[in-house]
Amino acid sequence: MSNDQLSKLNDMISNMNNMNICDADCQKKKKVDRLRIQYNAARNRKVNAPAEIEATRKAYFIEDKGSQYYTQYMESEYKKEAQKEVVDFFNLSDKYSLLTKSTLLICHIS
């Protein structure tokens, strides 16, 4: 390769490097874009997390313990959830009843 060709090649490389220079504004834009992408990905993971947890739990339990174990486990979990709902309902009902009795008592005294 002649010196002239080498000089032209170096000039082309230099021009290409100058075109790819990213100043402070460019770097900030790139960082903002990267952080926006990370933020959106994290939001998507949060939204999809319950379904992902359920799917991975099911796959894990079935593989490790078998489908019968998973079915019994889920039945137990649903029963616990239902019992909690019943307790919450009766607690709310008790509060409503107490409020109604208090209101009636206040109205009777007045």
Tell me: the pLDDT tens digits for 32-66? 999 999 999 999 999 999 999 999 999 999 999 99
Encoding tokens for residue 65? 């313990």
* CB within 8 Å of 105: residues ≥ 6 apart: none
Instruction: Report the first-to-last Cα separation within the chain, whole angstroms.
Output: 110
Q: Would the pLDDT of 110 be above 60? A: no
* pLDDT band of 79, cuts 50, 70, 90: very high
pLDDT at 106: 63
3-state secondary structure of 17: helix
* pLDDT band of 86, cuts 50, 70, 90: confident
